[in-house]
Structure 1
């Protein structure tokens, strides 16, 4: 209200001053022969300025009140949004805690099953028929697959909660660390992982570790029978981004499956066999998009696959 009054008074002051000064100047230059006419014009001018000042004050004051109401409304909405934000944050934390607890509670019986099977095999190995051994192996294998699916589902649920913390990442050291983590699988499959001259980039080390480990695991998992997996990791600069490529000599992917492999729980069927849990590549997609990149596949069935993804340099 004070601002509206100030503007109206300033307008009134300058308007009246202009009328008086202009009429005084006219009377001085041309004499007072038209003094009555000038007086009438002066009165009209002052009346006009006063009237428009009042109207100006009214409209500015009205607009200012509306503006204040809008500001108060925005403040209320902002408070509501902050409350909702805290509620969502709390809900996400509860969901994450639930996922951890559920994962632990589900894995405990699986560990018990696996341990009992191993003890059973040791204790009764001389009394087991070939068919019994086969059934026990199926049970143990199913238990291990379920355990893997629980672990990957938990990792997928946590991708959204990872903070996109930028840090200096030496990719060669990162891949050496991954090799050490999965050395047992590499030795078992006689796999070969090739990479050299990888850059040091600014990104999230934890998320990239998950991406490369999932892609390497995937390449080993989808390798051909009786063929040692060979996995190559290359990178090149394209404009303002890095383009990575993880290539393998595995079973390949049929063209009709290219658009599905990054979907959750989608598994490739080859010769009536299903591989993996169907979550690994969906985790890769979620992470790459979180890091503002893109991911896609180029593959021919029976000839291996190449998974490409990009990351911004800055």
Structure 2
């Protein structure tokens, strides 16, 4: 549709959700955007009060194409794919092709294991994350190994053991492979590991306190000391990771700008515990892009192929798209 007649253009655009594409006289794609109301969104570009960047964009537009979608979610996915494919000049581009790591618990096994996972979540079991980096996953796995001594070895290694490995010798595994722990006791360690990953450290601590007192009353002092050390470790970790007032799944997305460069930080909170944060440096079309525009473009592209948390907190009021 040609832009020469604005009224005719807007008449042809429906008020449905969808994606619009703006081209110049040479049929070069300038910009891709999404909208929950295509007609309202496209009309907004022709308002008098616009940023210099949008004014330059509008001056070059010779044609606008649009695709109607059934839902806003479909529009979000289509927009992200088109931006990645064509890399339009006036779009803010997220430079991030990495899939994020998770902790995976193989709950279907007789003696489940905890492991690092990256990629599709198509196997039966529990997935916890996403974590901002592989290092954050390995750090958490290391803590779980110290406290609960749940196995992390491959199944092929586990099935072919005739004696405990080094992890058992250094108190990092309870050696279920050779029967050093009962299935019931190991199952409880798995349950506690999952509760820890769900942010329920307080419940585990309370149960461990009762178990420590019971062991001490029976004069089982070595076992009581084990519970004592677990309680101390869990309390220290909980204090380090706890975020006041945060519950459930929350991502906090903030933006800072300096000298024409933008940095977007994403902080990941799950069950009141901080999993860490990650920095992104999106490519800007020019130095006039606002923080709100950057965050809006970042969120659209970043969450187009990731799970959206229950709550998303940003430090700017985002434009209505």
Q: TM-score range by the shorter chain?
A: under 0.3
- State the TM-score, normalized to the length of structure 1: 0.22
Structure exhibiting the larger radius of gyration computed from Cα positions: 1
More strand by share: 2
- Larger RCO: 1 or 2 (CA < 8 Å, sep 6+): 2
- State the TM-score, normalized to the length of structure 2: 0.22
